[in-house]
Amino acid sequence: MSAPRPAPLLEAIELSKDFPVGRKGPGGTLQKVHAVDKVSFQVWPGETLGLVGESGCGKSTLARCLVRLYDITSGTLRFQGQDITRLGTRQLRPARLHLQMVFQDPYSSLNPRRRVGDLIAEPLRVHGRRKSGEIDARVRALLGLVGLSPDHLNRFPHEFSGGQRQRIGIARALALSPQLIIADEPVSALDVSIQAQIINLFSDLQEQLGLTYIFIAHDLSVIRQVASRTAVMYLGSIVEIGPTQELYDTPAHPYTAALISAVPIASVDPRKRRERIVLAGDPPSPMDPPLGCRFHPRCSYSSARCRSERPALLEIGNGRSVACHHPLNRGSGASLPLADHAQVDVPGGNSGPLCSAP
Ligand SMILES: Nc1ncnc2c1ncn2[C@@H]1O[C@H](COP(=O)(O)OP(=O)(O)OP(=O)(O)O)[C@@H](O)[C@H]1O
Ligand SMILES: [Mg+2]
């Protein structure tokens, strides 16, 4: 008999975040940006969940809702089984110890006038650690964990390279021994060789400390290296989620297929090569999202149903879920190569757009 699955560490249920923008719409009501729109997913202890999607699809807003840096407009957020959706600052403190964020640009999140030792000690002081000997020992241990040396304690952030600054950001996030780290594009601003070092650091720390990650990137090749499961976001919603390898091999949502087709594959096997699918147009405005499926104006598979009925995120087996009325790669027991779909359905052949406006 297989062991029962542990409870999710974090669970989002129909989570939404709107930003009022102070402009009036057609009916005289204030317009809102629907940055995150009814997002549901679970994160399991010890896993890395990758979150990908085009710029502006709501990844950072979702991340900030998950650590409660933003108030949540509607829906439910549970951490370690506790509903933390509307907890006030004081009630939230115990959960905050275990929920930390790493940001894309460590430089802007580090006070340039403070020394590295102080920057790393700050979360410890904020959370009530008072003994300077204890703080100093912890800061030195954290520097070692992230591959920096005690010589760095008295330096300022501008004396470090981008990769080293990200190490400082990671040390700060680790200070309170969190369980879950949400890393928002932590390697996007770094050179490729430095990216690899920081990715390795994340993976070593996960192994050493049993951490759970939500790792955000717009680059699917980065997500492929780090994430055991991947969620794909489009215009505020998750359109597909599942084990990373399966999602890459047999994408079920046409948007996932288009994103993956842009990832270069170094393979001599022609069956593994994919045709690049270029999406037509920009994503619609999250202030006025299309009716029905949010992706339908850019999707060549779109039907009348897609234009009127919003697809729910439904399980399709093997731990995968997709929000699409016409999912790809289904029925044949697994994998139609993506290029076959493109060749059958793309007007103008594979060099043209996957999707054309209806
Ligand atoms: N404070 C805010 N006020 C109003 N609109 C906002 C605010 N923050 C984000 N938005 C809007 O919400 C949407 C989602 O933005 P968000 O920054 O979460 O996207 P993202 O996926 O992280 O993009 P990127 O890949 O560029 O970082 C965008 O349309 C953005 O303009
Ligand atoms: Mg972002």
209 and 143 within one domain: yes
210 and 91 within one domain: yes
Q: Which residue has the higher pLDDT, 285 or 356?
A: 285
Q: Which two three-digit tokens encode residue 343?
A: 């060749």
Instruction: Please write the tens of the pLDDT for every residue from 14-25.
Output: 999 999 987 666
Q: Relative to the alpha carbon of 283, which ligand is closest?
A: 1
223: CATH: 3.40.50.300
Q: Which residues form the domain of 352?
A: 251-316+326-358
In a domain, 2, yes or no: no
Number of structural domains found in the chain: 2
pLDDT above 90 covers a percentage of the chain that reads 72
In a domain, 106, yes or no: yes
- CA quadruple 248, 250, 252, 258: dihedral positive or negative? positive
151 and 226 within one domain: yes
Instruction: Please write the tens of the pLDDT for every residue from 39-95.
Output: 999 999 999 999 999 999 999 999 999 999 999 999 999 999 999 999 999 999 999
pLDDT above 70 covers a percentage of the chain that reads 86
- Which residue's C-alpha comes closest to atom 4 of ligand 1? 19
Strands of 212-216's sheet, edge to edge? 99-102, 180-184, 212-216, 48-52, 229-234, 237-243, 320-322, 314-317
pLDDT tier, 1 (very low <50, low <70, confident <90, very high otherwise): low
- CA quadruple 45, 180, 224, 334: dihedral positive or negative? positive
CA distance 84 to 95: 8
218 and 87 within one domain: yes
In a domain, 3, yes or no: no
265 and 212 within one domain: no
Contact 180, 211 (CB under 8 A): yes
In a domain, 5, yes or no: no
- Which residue's C-alpha comes closest to atom 7 of ligand 1? 19
CA distance 122 to 172: 8
DSSP letters spanning 113-160: TS-HHHHHHHHHHHTT---HHHHHHHHHHHHHHTT--GGGGG--GGGS
pLDDT tier, 266 (very low <50, low <70, confident <90, very high otherwise): low
Q: Which residue has the higher pLDDT, 219 or 231?
A: 231
Enter the DSSP assignment of 309. S
In a domain, 4, yes or no: no
308 and 259 within one domain: yes
Q: Which atom of ligand 1 is nearest to the CA of 185?
A: 27
- Which residue's C-alpha comes closest to atom 2 of ligand 1? 19
In a domain, 187, yes or no: yes
Q: How far is the CA of 222 from the centre of ligand 1 (A)?
A: 21
Contact 162, 194 (CB under 8 A): yes
- Ligand 1 in reach of 57 Cβ (< 6 A): yes
274 and 228 within one domain: no
pLDDT above 50 for 203: yes
205 and 126 within one domain: yes
Q: Which atom of ligand 1 is nearest to the CA of 21?
A: 4
Tally Cβ neighbours within 10 Å of residue 242. 24
116 and 98 within one domain: yes
pLDDT tier, 237 (very low <50, low <70, confident <90, very high otherwise): very high
Residue 353 is predicted with a pLDDT of 29
- Ligand 1 in reach of 35 Cβ (< 6 A): yes
Residue 270 is predicted with a pLDDT of 60
Ligand 2 (ion): residues with CB under 5 Å are 59-60
212 and 261 within one domain: no
151 and 284 within one domain: no
Q: Which atom of ligand 1 is nearest to the CA of 36?
A: 14
Mean pLDDT, the chain, as a whole number? Answer: 87
Residue 105 is predicted with a pLDDT of 77
337 and 229 within one domain: no
- Ligand 1 in reach of 107 Cβ (< 6 A): no
Q: How far is the CA of 184 from the centre of ligand 2 (A)?
A: 7
